[in-house]
C-alpha cells in the first residue's frame, strides 16, 4: 500500500533524473552529496538507483536514473519498479514533480516492484520494505487496485497444478463474485456435456472434472462487456503427448483465465460502468482411457462439427464453446484471453501478446491503449486467405491446419467461426510468463494485456 501524505515530511526525498538533467541536479545538491554521486560514477543510467548518506549515517536522499529519456514524465512503471526493488528499507517521497499519468504509473510500478510469490517457501523471501508516499497527482486508488488485481492473478498462474485444478479455479471465481456482489454459476457433468460439448470432450480424460464457470455482475442500462479466459489448468497435450520439456510450464496454461479474472477484479474495484460477464472453460487436458482422440468428431455448442486433428490444440476447442455462448448475447465488446499458440511466441517473443480484432480500428484502439500504459499488444491479421487450412473431409472444420505456417492466425480464424454476431471482438494470444527476472517482473507469472484492456475499456465506456 502507498503511504499517506502525512508521511511526506519524514520520508527520504527521491529524485528522478535523466542523463541530460544530471548536471543541473548536481549543481542543486549540496557539495558533499554531489561529490558522492560523482565519486560513484553515477551517470543517471536507466534503472540505476543510489542513496546519498546523511551526516548522521542515515539516508539523506536517493536518486533514480532514467537514462536517455527526454523528461521524467516519459518514465515507465518499470522505472519505478527498479526503485522499489533496489532501495533499502525506509519511507520515500518523490522530489521530482510528475504529471498525473506519469505519477500514477510510478505509483503502480513501485507496488509491482514489491511482488513476491512465497506461498510454498518454508522460509519466505523477505518483502521489500521500501515504502512510497503517495505521489502528488497520482491516481492512488487505481494504482492500488491494479497492483492487487495483478498480484492476485500472478498468484493464480504461479500456483502449481496439483494445488490449482478446475475446481480450485472455479472457487477463485466464486470468491470474486461473492466479494463484489455478483452471480456465480458452474456447469459440469452431464449438463456440461449437453451445453458445452467441446469443453467436456477436452476435460473428460482427467480425474478432475471439467466445468464451465460463468460469473455476472448485472448493471441496468450499462454497456455489456464479456471476458472469456482459457482455463486449461494443466496441458499434457492429451494423446498427442507433449515432450517433458514442453510440459514444464503448463501450469500457466490457465493464464488467460487468470488475466480475465484479474481484469474483472480491477474493473469491479474501480466501479467501471459496464455489465460484466466472465466465462471460463476450466479443464485439465490429460491422458487416459476416456481421453478424446485424434480423429474424433465432436458437435460444438454452436452446432458446427469439429474433427480433432491434434489433441494438443485443446485451447481453441474449449474457447469455441465459451465464445459461442458469449456471442449469442451480442455484447458491446467481447474479449478472449488465452495462452494459445507457440506460433505467436515464435513471431513476437514472450513480451508481446498477439492481438486479433474483428475491426482494424478496434485493434488500433487497443494497441494505443496498451502503449499508453506500457502494456503492449501487437496487432496481427485475421487473414481470410488461410481459412481453407481448417478444412476437413469429414466435418465442418478441423481444429488444426495440415501445414506448419501461420499457426497463431489459423487458431484465431478457428475462434472467429464461433463469433458471428458480435461486431467488436478481441482475441489476445499471450504468454503469461516472464522468462527472466526484471524489476517488477520476476521470473514467473505475468498478466499481459490486463492493464492495456482496462485502459481500452475505460476509454470506450467511461
Q: Give the active site residues.
A: 242, 316
Q: Which positions ≥6 away from 426 have C-beta within 8 Å?
A: 333, 334, 335, 336, 355, 356, 357, 358, 362, 363, 366, 453
What whole-number distance in Å separates Cα of residue 10 and Cα of residue 358? 53
Q: Which parts of 217-356 fold into alpha helices (H)?
A: 244-247, 255-269, 315-328, 342-348
Helix (H) or strand (E) holding 24: helix 22-28
Beta bridge partners of 93: 13
Query: Which DSSP symbol is given to 161?
Result: T
Kindly report the three-state secondary structure assignment for every residue of 361-415. Answer: HHHHHHHHHHHHCCCCCEECCCCHHHHHHHCCCCCCEECCCCCCCCHHHHHHHHH
Cell 474449449, located at residue: 318
Cα(399)–Cα(303) distance, rounded to whole angstroms? Answer: 15
| Contact between 284 and 232 (Cβ < 8 Å) | yes
Do the Cβ atoms of 395 and 384 come closer than 8 Å? no
CA atoms of 407 and 56, how far apart (whole Å): 62
Question: In sequence order, what DSSP letters do the residues of 61-105 get, joined into one string?
Answer: EEEEE-TT-SSGGG--HHHHHHHHHHSPSEEEEE-S---HHHHHH
Q: Which of 161, 176, 255, 230 is nearest to 448 (CA)?
A: 255
Amino acid at each position: 500500500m502507498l503511504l499517506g501524505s502525512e508521511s511526506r515530511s519524514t520520508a527520504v526525498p527521491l529524485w528522478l533524473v535523466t542523463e541530460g538533467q544530471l548536471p543541473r541536479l548536481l549543481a542543486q545538491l549540496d557539495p558533499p552529496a554531489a561529490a558522492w554521486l560523482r565519486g560513484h560514477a553515477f551517470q543517471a543510467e536507466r534503472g540505476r538507483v543510489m542513496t546519498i548518506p546523511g551526516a548522521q549515517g542515515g539516508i539523506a536522499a536517493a536518486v533514480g536514473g532514467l537514462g536517455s529519456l527526454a523528461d521524467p514524465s516519459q518514465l515507465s512503471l518499470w522505472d519505478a519498479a527498479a526503485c522499489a526493488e533496489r532501495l533499502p528499507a525506509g519511507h520515500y517521497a518523490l522530489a521530482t514533480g510528475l504529471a498525473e499519468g506519469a505519477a500514477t504509473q510510478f505509483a503502480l510500478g513501485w507496488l509491482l516492484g514489491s511482488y513476491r510469490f512465497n506461498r510454498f517457501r518454508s522460509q519466505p523471501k523477505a518483502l521489500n520494505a521500501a515504502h512510497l508516499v503517495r505521489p502528488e497527482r497520482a491516481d492512488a486508488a487505481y494504482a492500488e487496485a491494479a497492483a492487487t488485481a495483478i498480484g492476485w492473478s500472478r498468484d493464480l498462474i504461479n500456483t502449481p497444478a496439483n494445488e490449482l485444478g478446475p475446481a480450485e479455479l472455479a472457487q477463485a471465481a466464486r470468491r470474486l463474485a461473492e466479494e463484489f456482489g455478483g452471480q456465480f454459476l458452474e456447469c459440469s457433468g452431464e449438463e456440461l456435456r449437453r451445453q458445452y460439448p467441446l469443453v467436456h470432450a477436452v476435460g473428460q480424460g482427467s480425474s478432475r472434472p471439467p466445468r464451465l464457470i460463468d460469473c455476472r455482475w448485472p448493471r441496468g442500462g450499462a454497456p455489456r462487456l464479456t471476458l472469456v479466459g482459457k482455463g486449461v489448468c494443466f496441458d499434457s497435450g492429451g494423446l498427442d503427448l507433449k515432450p517433458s520439456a514442453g510440459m514444464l510450464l503448463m501450469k500457466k496454461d490457465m493464464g488467460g483465465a487468470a488475466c480475465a479474472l484479474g481484469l474483472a477484479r480491477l474493473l469491479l474495484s474501480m466501479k467501471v460502468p459496464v455489465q460484466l460477464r466472465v466465462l471460463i472453460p476450466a479443464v485439465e487436458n490429460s491422458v487416459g482411457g476416456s481421453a478424446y482422440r485424434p480423429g474424433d468428431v465432436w458437435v460444438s455448442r454452436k452446432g458446427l462439427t469439429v474433427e480433432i486433428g491434434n489433441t494438443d490444440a485443446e485451447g481453441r476447442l474449449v474457447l469455441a464453446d465459451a465464445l459461442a455462448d458469449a456471442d449469442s448475447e451480442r455484447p458491446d465488446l467481447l474479449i478472449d484471453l488465452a495462452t494459445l499458440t507457440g506460433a505467436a511466441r515464435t513471431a513476437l517473443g514472450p513480451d508481446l501478446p498477439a492481438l486479433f480484432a474483428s475491426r482494424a480500428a478496434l485493434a488500433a484502439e487497443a494497441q494505443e491503449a496498451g502503449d499508453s500504459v506500457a502494456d503492449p499488444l501487437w496487432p496481427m491479421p485475421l487473414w481470410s486467405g488461410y481459412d481453407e487450412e481448417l478444412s476437413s473431409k469429414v466435418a465442418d472444420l478441423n481444429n488444426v491446419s495440415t501445414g506448419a505456417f501461420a499457426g497463431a492466425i489459423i487458431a484465431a480464424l478457428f475462434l472467429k467461426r464461433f463469433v458471428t454476431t458480435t461486431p467488436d471482438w478481441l482475441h489476445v494470444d499471450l504468454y503469461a510468463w516472464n522468462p527472466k527476472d526484471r524489476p517488477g517482473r520476476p521470473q514467473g507469472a505475468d498478466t499481459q494485456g490486463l492493464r492495456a484492456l482496462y485502459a481500452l475499456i475505460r476509454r470506450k465506456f467511461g
